[in-house]
């Protein structure tokens, strides 16, 4: 808990604000914003790759939620008892024990004594339902087996829902010694980045639709704290259930369920990524056809995402899902965020960034945010060669998207842009620098 809260204050909230202000100022997606420094555009592509991976497997998690929703529409939940064809002799259910109590109290006492003596690992009905019925999990990552048709149907439904939400654009849419363990801090950082959506490109994309003078600083504080509070509440809920299950099964909490998405479906059955990819494609290509037919692009991306998610609905799909979750959406988010901070704070310059924020919000970032965001850049000086200062002055391609917002140091660029547009109209050629 302590590493999580520290990472929230010193990493999560400042980076959340940085991405919101970044996208809102330029009104561009995760690729377009890198007009600030084109040599770092690879960071935008990295965000797209991460969003692609997460979009593929996260919709599989959504589809499993749909599956549990439909399967719960019965008088008796199928994961309540251990008398189903898919259950094993190791299955121990709370409801089964309650029924035995009503039938024969002495038998229950003998059963409890047998459980205490027998150290064999027990499993719950929900875990066996998850592994042996929902997944029909194979014994190896290379053994794909069959496609689980119920999951495939729910996957198609989840992609249809995402597409319908975005078809018209965004508007329709432990113990104290653990503190010394580096892995705990790494997990806390990854969880903060994952839960807040930092480095996915989604925050930049969604913020690009904000009004230019929207108070994104207030938004970042409210959303980050609310997200953290929700995560803590969800943790209390799921771990209280896991603790009860561990007590019933007479096993440690760590052995109640495996890690990964299965944890949610054993304890209790648990859209911005697609918009990130679509906006990046539209901003990058930028042709009239692409802009006018954005719903077609959205449909194409959704179909591709569904197709790539089909292997995750096979009997070995859970192995691939965990592989993608652990390597595509964990520490890679931290690396992308670090590079983004280096670009904005070192290359573009923290002073210019703070001036941009003040022009947009009407006030500069608080001193606390400045201290966290610039940390080691205080001694930074721009690279110079003779009289040329590299990576320091704002490019005419960078800045607010609308001309009425191009004030202060961006005013001369607006005039240059206007004259370029005038010459372009005269020559009937497109403006190469218009945002």
DSSP annotation of 293: T
pLDDT, position 255 = 64
Of the pLDDT bands very low, low, confident and very high (cuts 50, 70, 90), residue 263 is very low
Q: Identify whether 356 is part of a domain.
A: no
Q: Name the nearest CA neighbour of 82 among 118, 120, 133, 117.
A: 133
Q: Identify whether 429 is part of a domain.
A: no
399-414 confidence digits (pLDDT tens): 787 777 777 777 765 5
Of the pLDDT bands very low, low, confident and very high (cuts 50, 70, 90), residue 368 is low
Contact 382, 349 (CB under 8 A): yes
CB count in 10 Å sphere of residue 21: 26
Domain containing residue 57: 2-77+127-336
Contact 281, 179 (CB under 8 A): no
H helices present in 35-181, as ranges: 41-71, 94-103, 105-117, 125-128, 149-166
Q: Name the nearest CA neighbour of 337 among 189, 124, 175, 135.
A: 189
104-133 confidence digits (pLDDT tens): 444 444 444 444 434 456 788 888 899 899
92-109 confidence digits (pLDDT tens): 876 655 444 444 444 444
Q: Name the nearest CA neighbour of 281 among 311, 314, 304, 252.
A: 304
Residues 262 and 292 in one domain: yes
The reply to whether 214 sits in an annotated binding site is no
Q: Identify whether 332 is part of a domain.
A: yes
Q: Which of 336, 360, 393 is the last residue of a domain?
A: 336
Number of compact structural domains in the chain: 2
> Which residues, in sequence order, are CB contacts of 254 under 8 Å at separation 6+?
none
Q: Is the pLDDT of residue 177 over 60?
A: no
311-324 confidence digits (pLDDT tens): 999 999 988 888 88
Residues 227 and 165 in one domain: yes
The reply to whether 138 sits in an annotated binding site is no
Contact 66, 158 (CB under 8 A): yes
Helix (H) or strand (E) segment spanning residue 285: helix 272-285
408-432 confidence digits (pLDDT tens): 777 765 555 554 544 444 444 333 3
Q: Please give the Cα distance from 220 to 370 (Å, whole number).
A: 15
pLDDT, position 268 = 40
> Which residues, in sequence order, are CB contacts of 281 under 8 Å at separation 6+?
290, 297, 301
Contact 417, 434 (CB under 8 A): yes
Of the pLDDT bands very low, low, confident and very high (cuts 50, 70, 90), residue 190 is low
> Which residues, in sequence order, are CB contacts of 18 under 8 Å at separation 6+?
340, 341, 344, 373
Q: Please give the Cα distance from 191 to 235 (Å, whole number).
A: 12
The least confident of 163-172, 276-285, 296-305 is: 163-172
Residues 200 and 225 in one domain: yes
Residues 112 and 134 in one domain: no
334-361 confidence digits (pLDDT tens): 788 888 888 888 888 888 888 888 888 8
CA distances from 209 to 149, 169, 292, 336 (A): 38, 10, 17, 22
Q: Which of 308, 336, 364 is the last residue of a domain?
A: 336
DSSP annotation of 91: B
48-80 confidence digits (pLDDT tens): 888 888 888 888 988 998 999 999 998 888 988
> Which residues, in sequence order, are CB contacts of 301 under 8 Å at separation 6+?
274, 277, 278, 281
pLDDT, position 413 = 59
Q: Identify whether 420 is part of a domain.
A: no
The least confident of 136-145, 269-278, 326-335, 367-376 is: 367-376
Q: Identify whether 165 is part of a domain.
A: yes
Higher pLDDT, 327 or 314: 314
Residues 173 and 45 in one domain: yes
Q: Please give the Cα distance from 113 to 121 (Å, whole number).
A: 15
CB count in 10 Å sphere of residue 399: 26
Residues 185 and 67 in one domain: yes
240-256 confidence digits (pLDDT tens): 777 776 776 677 766 66
Residues 64 and 99 in one domain: no
Residues 105 and 59 in one domain: no
Q: In this structure, is the dihedral angle defined by the CA atoms of residues 390, 398, 378 and 44, taken in order, positive or negative? A: negative
Q: Please give the Cα distance from 46 to 402 (Å, whole number).
A: 27
Q: Which of 303, 336, 369 is the last residue of a domain?
A: 336
Q: Identify whether 19 is part of a domain.
A: yes
Q: Identify whether 98 is part of a domain.
A: yes
5-28 confidence digits (pLDDT tens): 777 777 778 888 888 888 888 888
Q: What is the residue-wise DSSP string for 211-254?
A: -TT--HHHHHHHHHHHHHHHHHHHHHHHHHHHHHHHHHHTS-GG
Tell me what the pLDDT averaged over the chain comes to: 74
pLDDT, position 335 = 84
pLDDT, position 149 = 94
Higher pLDDT, 165 or 147: 147
Query: Could you tell me what percentage of the chain is helix, strand and coil, using 3-state DSSP and rounding each to the nearest 5?
Result: 70, 0, 30
Q: Identify whether 363 is part of a domain.
A: no
Residues 254 and 323 in one domain: yes
Residues 107 and 66 in one domain: no
Contact 284, 34 (CB under 8 A): no
pLDDT, position 310 = 95
CA distances from 230 to 18, 102, 203, 227 (A): 22, 39, 19, 5
Q: Please give the Cα distance from 382 to 390 (Å, whole number).
A: 7
Residues 148 and 208 in one domain: yes
Higher pLDDT, 270 or 316: 316
Residues 196 and 248 in one domain: yes
């Amino acid at each position: 808990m302590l590493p999580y809260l520290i990472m929230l204050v010193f990493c999560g909230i400042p980076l959340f604000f940085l991405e919101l202000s970044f996208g809102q100022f330029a009104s561009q997606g995760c690729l377009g914003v890198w007009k600030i420094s084109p040599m770092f555009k690879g960071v935008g592509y990295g965000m797209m790759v991460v969003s692609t991976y997460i979009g593929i497997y996260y919709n599989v998690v959504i589809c499993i939620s749909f599956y549990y929703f439909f399967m719960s529409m019965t008088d008796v939940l199928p994961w309540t008892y251990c008398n189903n064809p898919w259950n094993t002799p190791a299955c121990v259910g709370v409801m089964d024990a309650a029924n035995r109590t009503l039938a024969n109290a002495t038998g229950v006492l003998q059963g409890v004594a047998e459980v205490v003596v027998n150290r064999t690992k027990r499993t719950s009905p929900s875990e066996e339902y998850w592994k042996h019925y929902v997944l029909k999990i194979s014994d190896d990552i290379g053994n794909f087996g069959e496609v689980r048709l119920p999951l495939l149907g729910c996957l198609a439904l989840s992609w249809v829902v995402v597409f319908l939400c975005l078809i018209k654009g965004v508007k329709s849419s432990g113990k104290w010694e653990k503190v010394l363990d580096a892995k705990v801090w790494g997990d806390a950082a990854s969880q903060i980045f994952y839960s807040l959506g930092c480095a996915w490109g989604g925050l930049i994309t969604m913020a690009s639709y904000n009004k230019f003078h929207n108070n994104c600083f207030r938004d970042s504080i409210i959303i980050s704290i609310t997200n953290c509070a929700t995560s803590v509440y969800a943790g209390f809920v799921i771990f209280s259930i896991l603790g009860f299950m561990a007590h019933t099964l007479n096993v440690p909490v760590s052995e109640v369920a495996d890690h990964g998405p299965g944890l949610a479906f054993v304890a209790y059955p648990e859209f911005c990524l697609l918009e990130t990819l679509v906006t990046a494609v539209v901003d990058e290509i930028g042709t009239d056809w692409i802009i006018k037919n954005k719903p077609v692009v959205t449909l194409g991306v959704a179909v591709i995402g569904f197709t790539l998610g089909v292997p995750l609905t096979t009997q070995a799909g859970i192995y691939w899902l965990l592989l993608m979750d652990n390597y595509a959406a964990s520490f890679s988010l931290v690396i992308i965020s670090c590079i983004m901070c280096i670009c904005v704070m070192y290359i573009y310059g923290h002073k210019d960034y703070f001036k941009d924020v003040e022009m947009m919000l009407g006030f500069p970032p608080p001193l606390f945010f400045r201290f966290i965001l610039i940390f080691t850049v205080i001694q930074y000086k721009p690279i110079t060669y003779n009289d040329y200062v590299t990576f320091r002055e704002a490019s005419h391609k960078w800045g607010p998207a609308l001309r009425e917002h191009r004030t202060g140091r961006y005013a001369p660029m607006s005039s240059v842009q206007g004259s370029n547009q005038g010459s372009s109209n005269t020559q009937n050629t497109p403006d190469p620098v218009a945002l």
